[in-house]
Amino acid sequence: MNDLVNRVAENVGIDAATAEKAIGMMLGFLQREAADGPVAQMIEAIPGASDLVAQYNGEGAGGGLLGGLMNAMGGGVMALGQQLMSEGLGMGEITGLAKETIAVAREYAGDAVVDEVVGSVPGLSQFV
């Protein structure tokens, strides 16, 4: 887990605590939104990812009027973005977080599994 968090923190330019929480939130989002089989396989393949999902899966949900509207409209990638912004991340950092996390996922789970996960979440491919 520390390798994933440190790599994301360093490459995105955020502190490790923020990276840890953001990765957990992002993977938790994927666990809720993506195709069950491939996303479970992807999360299990990344060392420490299951722990991050368990710890941060519900973090940042809701968050004000915009969060409520996004959740009412089905949430999706935009709701995740709003949740990450409420944690202090800008759009560039969120995009970097997504790209770096997906790159790590590809290393551990393989392109086919990750492509299936990304393809099963509407709007995600534009960020990774």
Domains of the chain, residue spans: 2-60+91-126
Write the pLDDT tens digit of every residue in 12-24.
Answer: 999 999 999 999 9
Write the pLDDT tens digit of every residue in 32-60.
Answer: 888 889 999 999 999 999 999 999 875 44
- Model's pTM, two decimal places? 0.83
The DSSP result for the chain, as a single string, is -HHHHHHHHHHHT--HHHHHHHHHHHHHHHHHHS-HHHHHHHHHHSTTHHHHHHHHTTTT-S-HHHHHHHHHTT-HHHHHHHHHHHTT--HHHHHHHHHHHHHHHHHHH-HHHHHHHHHTSTTGGGT-
